[in-house]
């Protein structure tokens, strides 16, 4: 078997096939694995992730993949999330003893950036999501903003609650994202189970998560070749005849899984085939949205927390990379919640020069407005916002900053997008598709990519008359959720 693309879709597919006893060769054009979830080295020698990546407790397939490659222990899960707004109000969201769907309700009731009226409206919308088991009776195919307005959500609730969670989860603005995707996020992550919302953050550079892949494939006689760019898929009489590489060499196999981004996939096919075949031509309808990562190195510690979600600001998440990548960090679930003084916006963190300073990463999803802006302007805007929520940043010196703009970071989960997303089995014999953009039912996430890889592996095996199941089910609903979901 051949897999093209060493991102999470290609790697998970290759590992699943190897676990089923297949000899797999994986070809990746870059020098490193991980695709969009990768790390690389800056000219000054610092190793950075292209952008902070997080998972959640509800991402069952990604967790299964990490377990298969021995990376589970490199992800730290946190029970508590801190939210800060521009007025300096801090709210801590964490679990209570109440059963799902009420486990987060006491923390939500204390959320300081919203008023009582906003919260009552949100509670009504969440109740509708639970009653529908994540599939509300109507409106789920509209855009998320329309759905929220039709449910009477206040502007504050939209801006300070729904938008804060969903723009980063979907990498899209609420008026451009299909409501069902947003509803799914709330049902699976925050309502249906006790642990679905827990944030999982890599405790190592992303590249280290894939260290076990090479050995896993080699154990079955397979291999991973990097710097191996496939130039085209050679198709004869409706079947794949082979893959042609940049240097003109060819590789032949029983089945081929192409796990590259959708636009790169179209370039590998003969142009007339793309025109003729509706499944391929439809991929031109997929739009993409940008993510911007801002890496900041301060001369001192400006926060002692592992991460912050920012409310009502352009900057959406701040990750304390010095702490997350440092061995002294422990998952909150292991050490109990830390205490940031409410109302200080993190000012409780001492502003002392740290020996190695502090490395923070700020993430802004759906960052359309930043795409045309200069790096310097972006750094200045983000720094101003950080000074609002982390006062210790005001007296800190910014030693170095890097801006990574991914202008086509992910496909946009626009209303109706699923009709353009293809299944794993392509119309060409022996050719299978994987990638976060295939029909996984998930937005563009690492979980979606692994789901696509596992689906492709199942499809390849069924093509060779074997039956194996790799796809992991969602976490089953817990607590009182069953009592609410209407049949």
Ligand X SMILES: Cc1cc2nc3c(=O)[nH]c(=O)nc-3n(C[C@H](O)[C@H](O)[C@H](O)COP(=O)(O)OP(=O)(O)OC[C@H]3O[C@@H](n4cnc5c(N)ncnc54)[C@H](O)[C@@H]3O)c2cc1C
| In the complex, least distance from residue 259 CB atom to ligand X, rounded to whole angstroms | 5
79 close to 196: Cβ distance less than 8 angstroms: no
Please report whether residue 20 would count as binding ligand X according to CB under 6 A: no
Please tell me whether residue 196 binds ligand X under the rule CB under 6 A: no
Q: Which of 444, 456, 457, 481 binds ligand X (CB under 6 A)?
A: 444
Shortest distance, position 476 Cβ to ligand X, whole Å: 22
Q: Which is nearer to ligand X, 46 or 120 (CB)?
A: 46
Q: How many residues bind ligand X (CB under 6 A)?
A: 37
**Of 156, 204, 211, 264, which one interacts with ligand X (CB under 6 A)?**
264
Residue 27 binds to ligand X (criterion: CB under 6 A): yes
CB of residue 176 vs ligand X: minimum separation in angstroms?
A: 17
**Residue 35 touches ligand X, criterion: CB under 6 A:** yes
Q: In terms of CB distance, is 34 or 134 closer to ligand X?
A: 34
Q: Which is nearer to ligand X, 3 or 348 (CB)?
A: 3
Q: Under the criterion CB under 6 A, does residue 230 sit at the interface with ligand X?
A: yes
Q: How far is the CB of 203 from ligand X (least distance, A)?
A: 15
Among 1, 2, 10, 162, the residue binding ligand X under the rule CB under 6 A is 10
**Binding ligand X by CB under 6 A: which of 28, 173, 301, 332?**
28
CB of 445 to ligand X, least distance (A): 3
> What minimum distance in Å lies between the beta carbon of 124 and ligand X?
29
Does 296 bind ligand X (CB under 6 A)? Our answer is no
Regarding 200 and contact with ligand X (CB under 6 A), the answer is no
- Looking at the Cβ atoms of 388 and 444, the one nearer to ligand X is 444
291 near ligand X, rule: CB under 6 A: yes
**485 is an interface residue for ligand X by CB under 6 A:** no
C-beta closer to ligand X: residue 27 or 186:
27
Tokens standing for 197? 């919302």
Asked whether position 306 contacts ligand X by CB under 6 A, the answer is no
- Contact at 8 Å (CB) between 206 and 39? yes
Side-chain-facing half-sphere of 37: CA atoms under 13 Å = 27
Instruction: Out of 25, 435, 451, 459, point to the residue binding ligand X (CB under 6 A).
Output: 435
Report the C-alpha gap between 409 and 214 in whole angstroms: 26
Name the minimum Å distance from CB 10 to ligand X. Answer: 6
Q: Which of residues 386-415 bind ligand X (CB under 6 A)?
A: 406, 409-410
Is residue 436 at the binding interface for ligand X, with CB under 6 A as the rule? yes
Shortest distance (Å) from residue 77 CB to ligand X? 14
Smallest distance from the beta carbon of 226 to ligand X, in angstroms?
9
Q: Which of 2, 81, 185, 260 binds ligand X (CB under 6 A)?
A: 260
Peptide bond preceding 297: is omega within 30 degrees of 0, i.e. cis? no
Query: Which of 143, 440 has the CB closer to ligand X?
Result: 440
217 touches 15 (CB < 8 A)? yes
Interacting residue ranges for ligand X, rule: CB under 6 A = 4-10, 27-30, 35-37, 51, 53-55, 229-230, 259-261, 264, 291, 293, 406, 409-410, 435-436, 444-449
């Amino acid at each position: 078997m051949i897999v093209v693309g060493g991102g999470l879709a290609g790697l998970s597919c290759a590992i699943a096939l190897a676990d089923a006893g297949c000899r797999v060769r994986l070809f990746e054009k870059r020098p490193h694995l991980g695709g969009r979830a990768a790390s690389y080295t800056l000219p000054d020698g610092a190793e950075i992730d292209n952008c902070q990546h997080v998972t959640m407790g509800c991402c069952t397939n990604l967790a299964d993949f990490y377990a298969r490659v021995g990376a589970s222990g490199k992800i730290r899960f946190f029970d508590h999330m801190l939210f800060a707004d521009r007025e300096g109000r801090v709210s801590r969201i964490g679990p209570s003893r109440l059963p799902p769907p009420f486990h987060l309700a006491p923390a939500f009731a204390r959320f300081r950036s919203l008023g009582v009226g906003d919260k009552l409206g949100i509670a009504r919308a969440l109740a509708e999501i639970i009653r529908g088991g994540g599939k509300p009776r109507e409106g789920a195919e509209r855009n998320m903003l329309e759905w929220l307005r039709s449910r009477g959500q206040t502007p504050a609730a939209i801006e300070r609650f729904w938008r804060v969670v969903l723009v980063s989860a979907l990498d899209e603005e609420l008026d451009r994202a299909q409501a069902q995707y947003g509803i799914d996020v709330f049902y699976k992550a925050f309502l249906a189970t006790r642990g679905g919302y827990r944030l999982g953050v890599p405790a190592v550079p992303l590249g280290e998560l894939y260290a076990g892949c090479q050995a896993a494939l080699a154990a079955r006689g397979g291999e991973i070749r990097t710097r191996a760019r496939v130039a085209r898929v050679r198709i004869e009489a409706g079947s794949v005849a082979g893959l042609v590489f940049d240097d003109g060499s060819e590789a032949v196999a029983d089945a081929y899984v192409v796990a590259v981004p959708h636009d790169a996939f179209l370039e590998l096919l003969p142009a007339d085939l793309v025109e003729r075949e509706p499944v391929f031509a439809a991929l031109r309808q997929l739009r993409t949205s940008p993510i911007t990562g801002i890496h900041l190195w301060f001369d001192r510690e400006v926060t002692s927390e592992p991460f912050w979600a920012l409310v009502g600001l352009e900057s959406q998440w701040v990750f304390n990379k010095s702490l997350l990548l440092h061995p002294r960090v422990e998952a909150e679930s292991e050490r109990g919640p830390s205490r940031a003084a409410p109302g200080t916006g993190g000012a409780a963190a001492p502003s002392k020069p740290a020996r190695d300073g502090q490395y923070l990463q700020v993430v802004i999803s759906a960052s359309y407005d930043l795409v045309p802006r200069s790096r310097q302007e972006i750094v200045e805007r983000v720094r101003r916002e950080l000074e609002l929520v982390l006062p210790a940043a005001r007296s800190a010196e910014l030693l170095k900053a890097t801006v990574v703009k991914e202008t086509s970071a992910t496909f946009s989960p626009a209303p109706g997008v699923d009709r353009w997303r293809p299944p794993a089995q392509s119309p060409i014999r022996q050719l299978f598709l994987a990638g976060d953009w295939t029909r996984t039912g998930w937005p563009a996430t690492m979980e979606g990519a692994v789901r696509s890889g596992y689906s492709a592996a199942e499809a390849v095996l069924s093509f060779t008359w074997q039956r194996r199941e790799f796809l992991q089910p969602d976490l089953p609903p817990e607590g009182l959720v069953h009592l609410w979901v209407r049949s």
